[in-house]
Structure 1
Amino acid sequence: MQLYYFLAVILSLSLGSLPASSQSFARAAGFTALVIVAWWVLCYLAVRLVVRLIDQGEVDARVGYDWFDRQTECFRWFSLGLVLLCLGGFGLGRNFDQLPVVQDSLALQATVLLFPAMAMMSGLWAGEYLFAARLGLVRPNVWAGLKSIVATLRCSVGWLIAPIVGILALIDFVSLTSIGDQVPPWVAWGALGLVLVAGIPVLVRRIFPTTPLDDATLHWIRSVVAAAGIPRCKIVQWDTGLRTHNAMIAGLLGRFRVLMLSDRLVRELSREELAMVILHEVAHARRHHVPLRIAALVPAWLAGAALERGLMHDSLSAWVADWATDWAGTLGSALSLLATVLILRIVSYRSEYDADAVACRLAPTVSQVCADVPPTESEAGHQLAAALLRVTEDSDAARKPTWLHPGIGDRIDAFAG
């Protein structure tokens, strides 16, 4: 998942800790609506500007697409500032006490907090669809555009938002009924853990659109995954309309794991290249990278909670300014968020390098029982490098390092060396 989506969700939810505002909720909602309308207009004008340059022949379509892509990326990061303005400056996230129903529901509060970010993301997705339509890549149609926005939501940030809001709704249900008084805390936490382990793979399969794999390909992928050490993993093909090269593995245990491969990945990569992509994802599972990432974030949130408690503690009241006490929750959330981003950078890079190395080491063993798998570590490295270059050949930006992923060249140098 892109860092932007993660930050948009976490930042939005953390802004619920802001102190109450004297601004009325109606005025906050009105100003927020104006900002969102202006944002959608800006996205439209950005599309129109680049398309006009292409139509007039001042730039070719490839250069124009690159300009639009960079422009959209700048808009994404700028939108985080607008989210802060809407929720904090206007007070949309600071006046839940004015709403009788919302103030008693964590799920509804989360929905309100996430609304500005989701509205701005939708504006960007609508702009991307309109850009493709203006270039004749898709048919211009309002209904098709709405379906495109929903599909992008499902595949980008929807699988993160759905469990968060769902868990908060479950907490609301428990708190508003007598169940919460009858169930010991350890049982509640155990049930929550079970839901996370068993529910996320099911959620992934339901949220992402899928198409069936042909029997021969499915049998081969299952044999590779089983030989690599996770035999009960479910295999799913992600239907992207042949637009995306992507792969991911979700879930923590046995039958609750699901390996998702995009349709374009399966169609365009050779069997040897696809085998290395699969082994890379299997390596993430075997090396427990997901739980390790979660565990690595615990200190970040403990540090934020410690700062918040410290600022609000009576023994420190004489040393802490009144404003710091009022903003203790916000300052704690800010520290946690900053620490999270820094830790994710370190852990994400290390886990990617580790998964590449482990995949190359697994290949010779897997090749003894499965066809079309590189038989040596050196050949595995060659095929993995070819796969990485193939899936990024349409975008130079995809080959460059990002905050959560090392660059393609750096990865190839690491496992080839």
Structure 2
Amino acid sequence: MQLYYFLAVILSLSLGSLPESNQPFGHAVGFSGLVIVAWWGLCYLAVRMVAGLIDKGEVEATVGYDWFDRQTECFRWFSLGLILLCLGGFGLGRNLDRLPLTQHSLALQSIVLLFPAIAMMAGLWAGESLFAARMGVARRGWWATLTSTFSALRCSVGWLVAPIIGFLAIIDLISLTAVGDQIPNWAAWIALVAVMVAGIPILVRRVFPTRQIDADTKQWIQSVVTSGGIRRCKIVMWDTNHQTHNAMIAGLFGRFRVLLLSDRLVRDLTREELAMVILHEVAHAKRFHVPLRILALVPAWLLGAGLERGLMHDSMPVGAADWAADWAGTLGSVLSLVATVLILRLVSYRSEFDADTVACWLAPAVSRSCERVPTTEPEARRQLASALLRVTEGCAAARRPTWLHPGIADRINAFSPPQVA
């Protein structure tokens, strides 16, 4: 997941801890609605401007695509400020505890808090769909734009937002009964872990559009996964209409684990290259990178909780006590968010480098029971490098490092030691 999507969701939910505002909720809704409408208009103008320059021949298509990508990226980060303006400045997220409809429902509060972010993301996705249609690489029409926007929502933040709202809805239902007061905190945490283990893989299979894999290919992929040390894992092909190179493994244990491979990835890579991509995902599972990332975030949120508790302590000076109590939750959330971003950078980079290295170690052993898998570590490194270069071919942005992902050159240099002359 891109850092932007993570920040947009977490920032939106964190802004629910802001102090109450005297701004009437109706005004907050109205002003926020105007900002969102203006945002959609800006996205449309961006499409029209760049597409018009290409149509007139004033810029080449490749240059126009690059301009539009850069423009869209700037818009994404600018939207975080607009989310803060809607929820904090206008007060859309600061009066939810006083509204009869939302004051007793965490799920409804989360929907309101996430609405500006989702609406602005949708504007960008719709703009990308319109631009693709203007360039003749996608279908035209409002229905095509709507379906493309919904598909982008499903595959980007949908699998993150859906379980959050679902879990909060379960809490709401429990709180409406007498059972809620009898459930200890430790039981609630165990239930959350169980939902994550069993629910996330199921959600991935439902959220991402899928297609059938031919029997021979599926059997070969399953044999690579099994020989790599993952005994039970469901293989799913992600239907991207051959637009995306991507792979991911979700779930922590046994039959609750699912390997997702995009259709374009399976089509474009050789079996040897695809085997290395699969073994990279297998390495993530074998080395427990997902639970380690989750555990690495615990100190960040404990740090924020400690700040919040400290600001609300009785030892605070009398003059600052009221201010500290009002802003304790917000400042604690901000500290947790900053610490989370910094920790994720470190952990994400290390886990990617580690998965590449382990995949190259695994390949020779896997090749003894599977065909078309590199038989030596040097060959495995060469095939993995070839796969990384092929899936990012023609997209310079995909090869550059991001906050949560090392660059392609850095990854290749990490698992391919320099040759001695």
Aligned to 2:255: 255
Tell me the SS of whatever aligns to 1:103: coil
> CA-to-partner distance for each residue in 1:143-177, whole Å, 9 max, x for gaps?
11111111000000000000100110011111111
| Residue 293 of structure 1, CA deviation | 0.4
Tell me whether 1:283 sits opposite 2:248 in the alignment.
no
Aligned to 2:352: 352
> CA-to-partner distance for each residue in 1:105-142, whole Å, 9 max, x for gaps?
00000000000000000000000000011111122111
Q: Which amino acid aligns with 2:33?
A: A
Tell me the SS of whatever aligns to 1:226: helix
Aligned to 1:47: 47
**Corresponding residue pairs, total:** 417
1:76-155 equivalence runs, <5 A: 76-155=76-155
Please tell me whether the aligned partners of residues 201 and 250 of structure 1 are also in contact (alpha carbons under 8 angstroms): yes
Aligned to 2:207: 207
Aligned to 1:385: 385
Aligned to 2:412: 412
Aligned to 1:15: 15
Please tell me whether the aligned partners of residues 311 and 320 of structure 1 are also in contact (alpha carbons under 8 angstroms): no
Q: Which amino acid aligns with 1:11?
A: L
| Residue 186 of structure 1, CA deviation | 3.0
Aligned to 1:26: 26
Give TM-score scaled by structure 2 length. Answer: 0.98
Aligned to 2:219: 219
54-63 or 383-392, which deviates more: 54-63
Aligned to 1:333: 333
Please tell me whether the aligned partners of residues 312 and 321 of structure 2 are also in contact (alpha carbons under 8 angstroms): no
Please tell me whether the aligned partners of residues 311 and 317 of structure 1 are also in contact (alpha carbons under 8 angstroms): no
In the alignment, the residues of structure 2 paired with residue 320 and residue 398 of structure 1 have an alpha-carbon distance, to the nearest angstrom, of 48
1:170-185 equivalence runs, <5 A: 170-185=170-185
| Residue 359 of structure 1, CA deviation | 0.2
Please tell me whether the aligned partners of residues 25 and 98 of structure 1 are also in contact (alpha carbons under 8 angstroms): no
| Residue 349 of structure 1, CA deviation | 0.3
Which sections of structure 2, spanning at least 5 residues, go unmatched? none
In the alignment, the residues of structure 2 paired with residue 151 and residue 373 of structure 1 have an alpha-carbon distance, to the nearest angstrom, of 34
> CA-to-partner distance for each residue in 1:61-104, whole Å, 9 max, x for gaps?
11101110010000000000000000000000001133102110
1:363-374 equivalence runs, <5 A: 363-374=363-374
Tell me the SS of whatever aligns to 1:315: coil
Q: Which amino acid aligns with 2:257?
A: R
In the alignment, the residues of structure 2 paired with residue 304 and residue 320 of structure 1 have an alpha-carbon distance, to the nearest angstrom, of 19
Tell me whether 1:70 sits opposite 2:70 in the alignment.
yes
> CA-to-partner distance for each residue in 1:355-409, whole Å, 9 max, x for gaps?
0000000000000000000000110000000000000012101000000000000
Please tell me whether the aligned partners of residues 222 and 231 of structure 1 are also in contact (alpha carbons under 8 angstroms): no
Please tell me whether the aligned partners of residues 210 and 236 of structure 1 are also in contact (alpha carbons under 8 angstroms): yes
Give TM-score scaled by structure 1 length. Answer: 0.99
Aligned to 1:311: 311
> CA-to-partner distance for each residue in 1:200-229, whole Å, 9 max, x for gaps?
100000000000100000000000000000
Tell me the SS of whatever aligns to 1:237: strand
